[in-house]
Homo-oligomer: A and B are copies of this chain.
Amino acid sequence: MLEQFETLIEEKNYVALKTQLNDMHPQDIALLLDEVAGNDEREALILFRLLTKENAAEAFVEASSDTQEYLINAFSDAELKSVFDEMFLDDTVDIIEEMPATVVKRIINQSDSETRKLINQILKYPKDSAGSVMTVEYISLKKQWTVRQCFDCIRKQALDKETIYNCYVTDETRKLIGVVSVKTLLLNNYDTVIENIMETDVISADTYADQEYVASLLSKYDLTAVPIVDQENRIVGIITIDDAIDVIEEEATEDIAKMAAIRPSDKPYLEQSVWQIWLNRVPWLLVLMVSATFTGLIINTYESKLAAISTVLFACVPMLMDTGGNAGSQASVTVIRSLAIGDLVPRDVFKVLWKELRVSILLGLVLAIACFAKLQLIDRLLFRFEGYDVITSAVVSLALFITIVLAKFVGAILPLFAKKIKLDPAVVASPFITTIVDALSLIIYCTISIAILS
């Protein structure tokens, strides 16, 4: 498809280009612009200028920030104004947050004073707060209006609003006193006063609430929008379901990154520079490498004693540590995700430990038996390695059993403890737990080996 468009550009067949482009969905146009801009930015500009006003704004919002930055720099002032006037304010703010200062200045200069005031206000809210992601275009109604008056008002304002299906009822001081859906309006008589049909128990969130909390409200109560209010309960914006989906996806991505010992980034992978990726990965790798010193210390301490007993004891260390690490991260990842989606709360700690204890004993038994069988059948009989006698194999299997039970315990309790003391459970995740489990399992292994075998 890309080639087809490039042929049309070369042929300067702008009529066909214009028709084909504007027939596409804005999201697909944005993908195409990103692709084209990757090869030749000027071609992206040519394509962009063929878009209708509405498609131009929507495609611009969906494009990557690299494409956006190039286009803004290439725009005339009039073009810039026309694109940004067509956009919703929350999208404008999103773009501003990604752009370098000079570009931001140009955008702000092209906005009218009212928009500028609103932009500055939203920019003041902390990153990831409800205020920073909300949209300020919503339908607001008065409680004494009839359904007919409401529909008149909605008809007049609908074009500029992101969603019209939830309308917010405010009193004289702009305080939020109710919500009414277009569905309810349609189900009622034209002369009904909305005070009598509105829902007064409104689920709302504070401007400083975490965006993740707002997304969880939308998800839990199956809402399509949540009103955002200031400290005096005056409505200042709404967060719509499409933004909530983005938040839910972002938060899952962040948690996954943290579990893999990466500092999360809100940019897509291919758009991050090598330096950014490096910076997000190096701190944890360093911390974890240094903390692995403990395992080295333990081995140094026990080395001569172990070597004196049997030469095969060291060969089982990687298997023991890997299995302990895997067992621990199974538990920790399950608990972290359950906490994130609200299936678990810290006070469930005893339920979790009781469950993990039983699971870990079952798992430990199966793995210890399998390990014993493997050592006896594969290492001793098949490969004929020396030193894998029955007692040594049994000691290794016993150490494995204890390691698994311990790993599950540590893996389950650390995230719950982190949540309890208001730390992010995902940060105490797998790699960190692996280090603890490694050290513990090594100590147990060495102690048991020396106690039984020497």
Q: Cβ of A10 < 8 Å from any Cβ of B?
A: no
Q: Cβ of A32 < 8 Å from any Cβ of B?
A: no
Q: Is the CB of A255 within 8 A of B253?
A: no
Q: Cβ of A333 < 8 Å from any Cβ of B?
A: yes
In Å, the complex CA distance between A270 and B333 comes to 14
Q: Is the CB of A321 within 8 A of B318?
A: yes
Q: Cβ of A121 < 8 Å from any Cβ of B?
A: no
Q: Cβ of A285 < 8 Å from any Cβ of B?
A: yes
Q: Is the CB of A333 within 8 A of B257?
A: yes
Residues of chain A from 184 to 203 with CB closer than 8 A to chain B in the complex: 186-187, 201, 203
Contacts of A27 in B (CB 8 A): 220-222
Q: Cβ of A126 < 8 Å from any Cβ of B?
A: no
Copies of this chain in its oligomeric complex: 2
Contacts of A430 in B (CB 8 A): 260, 329, 430
9-residue interface stretch from A109-117, A129-137, A274-282: A274-282
Q: Is the CB of A359 within 8 A of B277?
A: yes
Contact A187-B159, Cβ < 8 Å, known A260-B430, A290-B374:
yes
Q: Is the CB of A366 within 8 A of B256?
A: no
Q: Is the interface of A mostly helix, strand, loop or mixed?
A: helix
Q: Is the CB of B203 within 8 A of A187?
A: no
Chain A 354-385 per-residue mask, 1 if CB under 8 angstroms from chain B, else 0: 01001100110011001100100011000101
9-residue interface stretch from A204-212, A337-345, A417-425: A337-345
Contacts of A290 in B (CB 8 A): 370, 374
Contacts of A371 in B (CB 8 A): 289
Contact A281-B222, Cβ < 8 Å, known A158-B186, A326-B261, A434-B322:
no
Q: Cβ of A314 < 8 Å from any Cβ of B?
A: yes
In Å, the complex CA distance between A241 and B27 comes to 18
Q: Cβ of A219 < 8 Å from any Cβ of B?
A: yes
* Residue from B219, B315, B343, B359 within 8 A of A296 (CB atoms): B315
Residues of chain A from 256 to 306 with CB closer than 8 A to chain B in the complex: 256-257, 259-262, 268-270, 274, 277-278, 281-282, 284-286, 288-290, 292-293, 295-297, 299-300, 303-304
Q: Is the CB of B186 within 8 A of A334?
A: no
Contacts of A154 in B (CB 8 A): 186
Contact A431-B164, Cβ < 8 Å, known A241-B224, A366-B282:
no
Q: Cβ of A242 < 8 Å from any Cβ of B?
A: yes
User: Chain A: residues with CB nearer than 8 A to chain B?
Assistant: 23, 25, 27, 151, 154-155, 158-159, 164-165, 182-183, 186-187, 201, 203, 218-222, 224, 241-242, 244-246, 248-249, 252-253, 255-257, 259-262, 268-270, 274, 277-278, 281-282, 284-286, 288-290, 292-293, 295-297, 299-300, 303-304, 307, 311-312, 314-319, 321-323, 325-327, 329-330, 332-335, 337-338, 341, 343-344, 348, 351-352, 355, 358-359, 362-363, 366-367, 370-371, 374, 378-379, 383, 385, 430-431, 434-435, 438, 442
Q: What are 10 inter-chain pairs, A to B, with CB distance below 8 A?
A: A164-B186, A219-B242, A256-B333, A281-B363, A286-B367, A289-B323, A299-B317, A303-B311, A304-B311, A325-B325
